[in-house]
Structure 1
Amino acid sequence: MSPFSFAFEKLPVPIISPSKEGFDSKNTYNPAVIRHRGIFVMLYRAEAKEGEITGRIGLALSRDGMNFVKHPEPVIEPEYSWERIGVEDPRVVKVGKIYYMTYTGYDGETARLCMATSKNLLSWKKHGPLFEEFPFKKNGRVNWTKSGAILAEKMKSGPFKGRYIMYLGDSNVWLAHSKDLLHWEYEPEPVLRPRGHLVEPGPPPIATEEGILLIHNEAFQRDENLIYTVQAALFDWEDPRGLIRRTEKAILEPEFEWERRGWVDNVVFAEAFVEHGDVYYLYYGGADRYVGLAIGGWEKQKVNPG
């Protein structure tokens, strides 16, 4: 079965919801999830009822990937000028003994793609924005980079041999590459363009026998509504700029009331994809207020070809 033969079933209720009080009392959404010593560790975007902060990063733990217990305090908060309004939308990979988190730093005007690293998923060292300059405008502004999803292994051949790659952006998707995961260079031409309103990377890319699978998010205008859906694209192993194909039908789209009504209506937005036994767990934000889970995938295939 091809990795493009997707079959996911969503749980009908959220697995994470806002608390009654505290730093995550308004919205809890767009999580990263990774396994650590057999435990599912979720790092989710959290917003409080009071104040102007658009994001802190909360932590929750689970043994089964469905039932999570929240940590009482955020693990990452705004500190610097480039993130003074929010730290948002984490994505996490592990390379060697280090966890690498890409996240959005928002200063109230520009959303910048930033990096933090950790050895334990609790204490994080921030490395700042990954690109000092990014000339392609979004919302009328340059330097708007926002989102990045890293493939957690080096390319084995082709023009980026020996380098890590990342897909980034949220109007188009660009490719960037790095020797050390901390210093990145971007390619000037987008590798994935929107078919509707916008396109944005989702979870970290996945190595499959057929190519590099990027689950991503796309927004489309339907009637008078903007609808966020989860889609997928397959890129060439030899040259990860090369798009092989992309889904014609959404993997996920808003269906339940809690996906259709929230802080932002009509949103499913994926950022985490975890293998669990014979299936995959796809974690997503619902209506910018909740965390949802879809279970499924495709027939498992050999990875890391060549």
Structure 2
Amino acid sequence: MHQATFPLGPFEPSPHNPILRPHGTGWESTNLYNPAALVVDDEVILLYRAHAADKISRIGLARSSDGIHFRRAGTPVLEPQEPYEQAGCEDPRITHIADTYYLTYTGFDGSTAQLCLATSTDLHEWTRHGPLFPGFNTWKTLPYGPDRPWSKAGVIHPRPLAGRYWMWFGEGTIHAATSTDLVHWTPVADDSHPMYSPTPGGWDGTLVEIGAPPVESGDGLLVFLMNNATATSPEHVDYRCGQIAVATRDPSTVLAKMTQPWLRPTSHEDTHGLVPNVTFVEGLVHFRGRWLAYYGQSDTTLAVAEFDPTRHNWHPPAQDAGNQPSTRSN
């Protein structure tokens, strides 16, 4: 296990950004963003969302020996096939457990977004398991957003906690679910009782959304990279990246959160694109001594931010988050 602390970082955007751009005239010709990430055979693997001008998303695969320069597979590894995803396979997150890859993604039918699951043993051939939470609306407790079934953004921890596997999911608000077989998932509470909600008036005041699968800290915390936003309309948003932590012995309760973002829109690509003013993280890996966080820029290009623990660390106040709820700042 790679040593992690809460908060994780600081991260610095790479001078090589964007590390992947749209190209060609086909399925990834217009926008390319929001990648899942993992390390396989000493390479970083990205599964990224891309589309042409039709905005029908597919999921592509790219490999890198240094975490910066990537070779693309050329054809999508997952693309619309079922009615629930006919308008796009979007925003993947991935976890590797034993000999199986578990990919969560958003199936969009043109009207409703649903969190879906697919599994693979080789990252190229995928078995679909369909929508995970039919009827669940992660926006239910908020006074805006869709008033119909809607779920996105699922991250799975690779080891069981107290005999069950855990997933955290949701756009708008965050919820938890558990499973014994990694395929069938049961929410810990109904959609009226999220475990984490936006902070009124804050930089995370409109919505919160799980980013990358958690990493375990040395003091029994699971550290999550998050996406947080304020919005005056669906077209006018400001997405920044934060962090939260839960205890492994109480995975459905948020114990700590960052009070300031660790990543925010600053570069031209962050502030100009299909949806301006967006940094949106979905992938985190520990690779050759560094933490690499992969994120989308304005829903148009793909970037990475790096944290090298040998160079610098945040030093949060000494506090026993395992014993009492608390808020830590950076």
The answer to whether TM tops 0.5 is yes
Within 2, Cα distance between the matches of 1:264 and 1:60? 24
Give the SS at the match of 2:80.
coil
In structure 1, how many angstroms separate the alpha carbons of the residues matched to 2:5 and 2:213?
A: 19
1:221 offset after TM fit, Å?
4.4
Task: String of CA shifts for 1:164-217, please: whole Å, max 9, x gaps.
Answer: 111111010001111111101112221111121100000111111231111110
Counterparts of residues 292-303 of structure 1 (less than 5 Å) = 292-296=303-307, 298=309
The alignment status of 1:29 with 2:47, answered yes or no, reads no
* Structure 1 residues 117-196: aligned runs within 5 Å: 117-137=119-139, 139-155=145-161, 161-186=162-187, 187-188=189-190, 189-195=193-199, 196=205
Match of 1:277 in 2: 288
Residue matched to 1:98: 100
TM-score (norm 1): 0.91
Q: Which residue of 2 aligns with 1:241?
A: 252
Flag the 1:276–1:217 CA change in 2: closer, same or farther, 3 A: same
Are 1:42 and 2:43 counterparts?
A: no
Q: Give the distance between the partners of 1:60 and 1:126, measured in 2 at CA.
A: 21
Q: Provide the rounded CA distance (Å) in 1 between the counterparts of 2:22 and 2:81.
A: 23
- Look up the equivalent residue of 1:48 and give its one-letter code: A
Answer yes or no: is 1:220 the counterpart of 2:217.
Answer: no
Measure how far apart 1:222 and its partner are.
8.4
RMSD: 2.1
Asked if structure 1 preserves the Cα contact closer than 8 Å seen for 2:139 and 2:171, the reply is no
Distance 1:258 1:283 in 2: 14
Give the Cα–Cα distance (whole angstroms) in 2 for the partners of residues 287 and 219 of structure 1.
13
Cα contact 2:281–2:294 (8 A) shared by 1: yes
Amino acid at match of 2:186: E
Q: Whole-Å Cα distance in 2 between the matches of residues 6 and 176 of structure 1?
A: 27
Superposed displacement of residue 244, structure 1 = 1.1
Give the superposition deviation at 1:68. Answer: 0.3
Does 1:250 pair with 2:250?
Answer: no
Gapped runs of 5+ residues in structure 2?
200-204, 315-321, 323-330
Describe the superposition over 1:127-175 as per-residue Cα deviations: whole angstroms up to 9, x where unpaired: 10012321554633332011111111100xxxxx200111111010001
Per-residue deviation, residues 80-102 of structure 1 (Å, max 9, x unmatched):
11000000000010000000000
Asked if the contact 2:138/2:174 (under 8 Å) is kept, the reply is no
**1:77 — aligned with what?**
79
Are the equivalent residues in 2 in contact too, given 1:136–1:142 (CA < 8 A)? no
Shift of 1:36: 1.3
Per the TM alignment, residue 2 of structure 1 is displaced from its structure 2 partner at its CA by 4.1
| Structure-2-length-normalised TM-score | 0.85
* Alpha-carbon contact 1:230-1:269 (below 8 Å) kept: yes
CA distance in structure 2 between the partners assigned to 1:218 and 1:137 by the alignment: 14
Q: What is the percent sequence identity of the aligned residues?
A: 36
Q: CA deviation at 1:6?
A: 2.3
SS of 1:180's equivalent in the other structure is: coil
In the alignment, residue 231 of structure 1 is paired with which amino acid?
G
Q: Secondary structure, in 3 states, of the residue corresponding to 1:209?
A: coil
Instruction: State the AA in 1 paired with 2:263.
Output: L
Partner residue, 2:91: 89
Contact residue 7 and residue 223 of structure 2 kept, 8 A: no
Distance 1:92-1:135 versus aligned 2 partners, 3 A rule: closer
